[in-house]
Chain A
Amino acid sequence: MTVNPFSSMAVTHVPEVEGPSVDTDPIRVAKAHLDDYLATPRTGNVIVVVGDYGTGKSRLASELLRHVDERCRRIYLEATPNGLAELYRTFAFTLRQEDVLEPVNEVYREIIADELHTTGILSPHQVQLLRLGALDPQHAVRNVSLPLSSLLGRTETRLADITRHPMLSKALALLLREDDGEQRLKNAVWSWLRGGPPDQILVERTIDQRLDTDGAALAVLSAFVRLYARGDRQFLMVIDELHKIVTAGQDDAGMTAFKSLLQQFDAAGAFLVLAGLPELETELRADVRQRITHRIRMSGFGTDQVCDYIEQTLGDVRDNPFSREVVSYLVGLADGVPRKIIQLCSELYRRWSTEGTQITDEQVREAARSVGLSSVDDVEAATARVLDAEGLTYLQRHFVGQSVDTRVDFWVTFPAGSARCAVVLTDSLLNSRDAERLTSKVLALRKVELDCRVLLVVNGALTPEPADRLAGVLSRPPLAYQRLAYADHLKALLRAIRDEVRTESRYEPIEKIHQALEQLTRQQASIHGFVERLAERLDQVRSTSDDRMEMIAGRLEDIAEELRLVRDGGQAAGEPPVRLPPLVDQEFTRAIDRLTEVLDLNAVLADEFAGGRPSKLLLHLRKGLEPAAVAILLHEIVVRFRAEVGAWYQEASAISPIPAGAYDRLNEICHAFDRITEQVPIAKLEELADGSKPDLVRTFYNLPLNVRHAFR
């Protein structure tokens, strides 16, 4: 079997650097800045690295971390949309105990060395040994009964001079104290450092502020920077994905705290790398931007670089199936984005090596449609998880209006404001036809809900042309689904929309209309362009031959088939698709959604196997097996009920309108549902919902009734 040398993931696992490295200009420039810094201690640097998804920012970060090697302390942090306090928590959890104890012990050793130096009991060489960290100071102090309390007091004072954070200094000095068998004092300090509430034993020792606000958290982070970069010591910190915090709507106080952090890097002589999407820099407040010493913009790969990369990857022993022309086409299609290029190379190489397919432009296009595609179910599940985690109410696979174009994958309601957000999932967007298809959908949605937001999630490749065309009609640029980063990106976008909707809800109605009109004006150009293109296409259609018409008809059939498959969401594989009128489908969707709200078994199991989180499944099971069993069983019953109703409808709708007598069978099916559910203790579901969903049980009792009403 041929081993595929290209990584299909194409995501850099920081700080590891995998695969061959293409030394691009940005990497060379960044390394040069870092070399300057290493050669000149005490000179602070704040470097911003911006670039689109997959342009190699994380790669650059890991190259820098590797470049400094052991020459200085280095830390890599990945930001999340949960704000600066969360960034600090990431930092605190990244730190190993020795990362904290080592610099504290270093200060402690200096204090002891100063004390002993004046006594003359140790030779200068021995004192130097002590300063260089050749022994455990706590052990040494104990062994000769040095005045512990006085030394610790001086260490705390010295730490406060360095960090300018008395509370942190007190906490760090407490780590040097002798503790009881349970290590309660030390555990309390660690817990506090990681953002927990201060234990009473710390409060009594004046450590009484929790590090859970942006200001408090960043003040401690700044203090660590001063500690790590004190004197001639050097310190490199990389904060990746910073745009997630900045674009999530950082408040003024947070931004001021962040500015102060950057100042600390400068003043302490440390090296900070901030990496993120291009909007990172524009979203930073002007006075924060002033703290940036160097800017690096990631550039895409050119054909030469990709050819080099392919040659390096394949080495001398493998045949190279990529012609320069194909590489050039591939680079254009992927817009030079390294991650996409590597994904495409991987897929094309796989096809070539396993199926013997020659790599042509056509093959590249096909590969572009399939690379990185997760299953629709995966994307749906990931989306639902984020919406649940954000506490948002939503309907899944919902028809906003009556037309097929108004079907959305998620219809999200925000706690404040009346505006809704549609989340639409789509496969690759490669050309103008794709853009038109989605523009038409967005316009159909807006026709029903004027100020609805539309978030487009692309499960596959996204090329610049359709992205540009869609930019005018969408609330936000399309979001390309990337398994690892999706949750964070979606969360940030939803929060931004939520804030926008909340702000708008405070406007007077007339202002809202004014706003909507402005939005329409902004969209006009795009819509106008779309209409023009549509007209052009219609002209082409009129003048085409029968073959052309057949092709269009074929495409329409494809679309119909796609829709059928999408509607088949709740069905087991192999069963006939359920086609129901939107209002009826809505009833079933709502019932299944209510079940998913209390127990989304798939999501819970996915979480469990992903590991690292508090066991949600255990929490459910602690309430007894029965509530969970009821949820699972009821889910199966509702899905079956829908399938039966769907089968009936398919048959009955052959005659239009449906004859009155045909409804007898529907009634039978509904009675069967009632009979079955009578045997199921549905009320047990409330135990899973902790009483927070009062209408939960009624949803299922009323389901047959509502279905019958929806048909009439």
Chain B
Amino acid sequence: MTDRLLITSSPHIRAPKTVRGIMLDVVIALVPACVAAVIFFGVKALMVLVASTVSAVVSEYLYEKAVKRPVTVGDFSAVVTGVLLGLTLPPGVPLYVPIVGSAFAIVIAKQIFGGLGTNFVNPALAGRAFVLAAWPLHVTSAWLNPLTMDAATGATPLHAFKGGQAVGSLTDLLIGNRLGSLGETSAVAILLGGIYLLVRGVIDYRIPVAYLGTLGLGVFVFGKPGALFQGDPLRGILLGGALLGAFFMATDYVTSPVTPKGRTYFGIGAGLITLLIRYWGDYPEGVTYAILLMNLATPLIDRFVVPKYYGYMHDVEARRRAREGGR
């Protein structure tokens, strides 16, 4: 590295947290979801996950070699991006989709801007939005029936749920015995990972709580076609990709606000946009776009939601005190 002298602003407190340590925690937290995906969808799910992860790591390595920057594959951030992208895809997807998606996520959404920390959208979500635009049919219809692993026809549970039909027992939803993307099937596995991250202090509770709370409230109010205040908030949260998004994608350090208040607004905004797209938009699910759009708004949130420092006074009050103090 050329930078021998590193100049940064205070504070200069050192914490034992490193990028590598945090990313390793995220990888560990993703293990239950991956295991659940492989149990329910078998080898195909494993292939998708491996393809996207390997593609992410290899693209990062090749790009950094090509532009002669230090190789940062060892910090596991590429692994996290790859696994997350794999989890957003359906199990029956052709393997070039995760491969191209991961390469796009790493190179275009992250490395072009200078690597980890400079990207303004979550790379995994950008990759998903890209493959969704490029191969909409592959990404929204290559479902497999869980356990039997044959190609499924018909609507996903989320689709049926939006139409007001019954969608199976809560136990099935929690364990993951249903159609869906790799990472949206087993709610228990995702929650396990999410709780691990919360306990380890890797993520802040505000974003997931605000996000899922807003979404649940919205589903309760608008979730039932033709009637207000009769929706089923629990199924509204468990179906679709909201859990995975709330715990693993919306909480990305680089692309979410830094202030506690800002994080709450971020979660509420993502919840509202998810609802908007899920119920009134063209796409079956809005989690990807909701978080991407809030990523875009993050710099503005950080700009306008500034915590009051100790001793802060409103302008008028400050001027009055100054006047009186000057007697």
Chains A and B are bound partners: no
Residues of A within 8 A of B (CB): none
